[in-house]
């Protein structure tokens, strides 16, 4: 489960003599995945955004927010409680 949201910073920055935007991608996922998976996710998202938008990789920001299962509700019930049913 997770949501991906993308935004660009409001300012423009110069990169190699041209104007570039800084994509910021926020991914919200349930906590509990191994650090290696998070690292891989960040790398793959960066590669994809660079390829699709033509942004330099060093301008791309990826934020992974891990949400505790007790803080993620579906149908009015925290996932942590729904798992125990």
What does the pLDDT profile of the chain (85 residues) look like in tens digits?
A: 555 555 554 445 555 555 557 899 999 999 999 999 999 999 999 999 999 999 999 999 999 999 999 999 999 999 999 877 6
Q: Could you say which DSSP state residue 1 is in?
A: -
pLDDT at 74: 94
What kind of fold does domain 2-82 have according to CATH?
Answer: Macrophage Migration Inhibitory Factor (3.30.429)
d(CA 35, CA 58): 21
- Catalytic site positions: 23
Q: Cα separation of 69 and 31, whole Å?
A: 7
Whether the CA torsion 52, 60, 20, 10 is positive or negative: it is positive
Q: Can you say how many angstroms the Cα of residue 29 is from the centroid of all Cα atoms in its chain? A: 9
In the chain, where are the structural domains located? 2-82
Identify any residues that bridge with 3 across adjacent strands, giving them in sequence order.
28
């Amino acid at each position: 489960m997770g949501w991906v949201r993308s935004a660009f910073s409001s300012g423009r920055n110069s990169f190699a003599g041209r104007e570039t935007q800084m994509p910021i991608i926020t991914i919200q996922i349930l906590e509990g995945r191994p650090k290696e998976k998070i690292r891989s996710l960040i790398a793959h998202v960066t590669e994809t955004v660079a390829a699709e938008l033509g942004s330099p990789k060093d301008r791309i920001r990826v934020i992974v927010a891990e949400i505790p299962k007790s803080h993620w509700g579906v149908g009015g019930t925290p996932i942590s409680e729904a798992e125990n049913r």
